[in-house]
Structure 1
Amino acid sequence: MTYRSSLMEFVGYARVSTQQQDLTQQIDKLEAYGCKKIFKGKHSGKEATNKEALEALLKYVREGDTVVVTKLDRLGRSLSQVLVCLDTLVERGVNLVTIDQPIDTNKSDALSKAMVQLLGMFAELERNFIVTRTQEGKAATGNYGGRKPKLSESQRLEIKNRLKKGHSKMQLSKEFGVSRATILNISRS
């Protein structure tokens, strides 16, 4: 466990999207701003290092600290992820400063407040776009989720007719490769 003094501190977070990208420029800016502790994330196949670095940062900071990033998008891959992170920081009394953008949650000036509120509106807009695109995609493909039925409508009708003729549910379940409960459900529908 790392010992921390009681003084509030600037804590940096640097992230890049691919393993090939370099963190050096972000780290240089964070150090120049006064960050002694810097958490680093690099994208990997499952984003594990970014997630782990951000979780470690969130565990490390405490009330009164200031998280410093070069740009707001360093906190997440989507606006909604950024806002979730920002909400977490605000709830814990941790400030956020972006070096290259006019965001400082410690300030109570109109521009800082407006930027945070605008981000909230954009996150809601982004979510609505995603929902709309998802619904349009489902409608276009006819795939609304769930498992595809094992039996076609014509097979279901055939099973109903054969049940009326006295065929056993067990025999039909074996023939059509479904459970006896499926045959029972068809007989009840």
Structure 2
Amino acid sequence: MMALIGFASVSTNQQDLTSQAERLTEYGCEKIFQGKHSGKEESNKQALASLIDYVRSGDTVVVTKLDRLSRALSQVLNCLDTFTDKQVVFVAIEQGIDTSNKKDPLSKAMVQLLGMFAELERNFIISRTREGKAASGNYGGLKPKLNSKQEQEVITKLSQGVSKVVLNKQYGVSRATILNISRKVV
């Protein structure tokens, strides 16, 4: 049994969902999920999760515009992948996207272009992150407990037979830290 399920969302709490809901109702949607994208507001994520949980194979999810699913292109594509996996058709009224006709070259090309742009966006983010880490020298992880001079002192004292317990107390670090330094020597 195929059902038309609408999804309406806006960017801020001050915006109204009425016009989208009316358009989706005119299109024939039996049920409409609604959410808001506002900064700390989780309503859009919750509404989208509820929509995804609700739809079944053969249903059609309808939005007025593609960006109503999410502000991030990668999230839009994740939704489209989920719909495909669940055998749910997707329609974006204003862009003329309709995934029901797998042979429609325009819809197929549009989804593929969106995929390419999402991949490009992801690659830009990764590249900028790497550049930022390289520029700052901060690659993440915990900072070493001891500097290189202190590590050399620990190595020297270990070779002289000083116990790890004495060294961890002397340098104010855990026994595991001293043990890890001792393993570097081997």
Q: Same fold (TM over 0.5)?
A: yes
Mean Cα deviation higher: 163-172 or 84-93: 163-172
Give the equivalent residue in structure 2 for 1:35. 29
Q: Is 1:158 aligned to 2:153, yes or no? A: yes
Give the equivalent residue in structure 2 for 1:118. 113
What is the deviation of 1:46?
Answer: 5.0
Give the equivalent residue in structure 2 for 1:51. 45
Q: Is 1:15 aligned to 2:43, yes or no? A: no
Moved segments of 4+, more than 4 Å: 44-47
2:56 is paired with a residue whose SS is coil
Q: In structure 1, how many angstroms separate the alpha carbons of the residues matched to 2:178 and 2:86?
A: 56
Q: TM-score, normalised by structure 1?
A: 0.87
Q: Is 1:82 aligned to 2:56, yes or no? A: no
Q: In structure 1, how many angstroms separate the alpha carbons of the residues matched to 2:30 and 2:55?
A: 13
1:100 is paired with a residue whose SS is coil
1:149 is paired with a residue whose SS is coil
Mean Cα deviation higher: 101-110 or 132-141: 101-110
Overall identity of the aligned pairs, in %: 66
Deviations 1:62-87 (A, max 9, x none): 22221111111121231111111101
Q: In structure 2, how many angstroms separate the alpha carbons of the residues matched to 1:148 and 1:47?
A: 35
In structure 2, what residue type is equivalent to 1:86?
L
Give the aligned length: 183
Q: In structure 2, how many angstroms separate the alpha carbons of the residues matched to 1:112 and 1:153?
A: 59
What is the deviation of 1:10?
Answer: 1.3
Q: In structure 2, how many angstroms separate the alpha carbons of the residues matched to 1:148 and 1:29?
A: 55
Distance 1:88 1:28, change over 3 A: same
The unaligned stretches of length 5 or more in structure 1 are 1-5
Mean Cα deviation higher: 165-174 or 144-153: 165-174
Q: In structure 2, how many angstroms separate the alpha carbons of the residues matched to 1:67 and 1:102?
A: 13
Q: In structure 2, how many angstroms separate the alpha carbons of the residues matched to 1:152 and 1:64?
A: 62
Q: How does 1:123-134 map to 2 (within 5 A)?
A: 123-134=118-129
Give the equivalent residue in structure 2 for 1:167. 162
Q: In structure 2, how many angstroms separate the alpha carbons of the residues matched to 1:87 and 1:187?
A: 50
Q: Is 1:145 aligned to 2:135, yes or no? A: no
What is the deviation of 1:135?
Answer: 0.9
In structure 1, what residue type is equivalent to 2:3?
E
What is the deviation of 1:124?
Answer: 1.4
What is the deviation of 1:17?
Answer: 2.8
Q: In structure 2, how many angstroms separate the alpha carbons of the residues matched to 1:118 and 1:126?
A: 12
Q: In structure 1, how many angstroms separate the alpha carbons of the residues matched to 2:89 and 2:49?
A: 16
Q: In structure 2, how many angstroms separate the alpha carbons of the residues matched to 1:149 and 1:25?
A: 57
Give the equivalent residue in structure 2 for 1:3. none
Q: In structure 2, how many angstroms separate the alpha carbons of the residues matched to 1:21 and 1:141?
A: 40
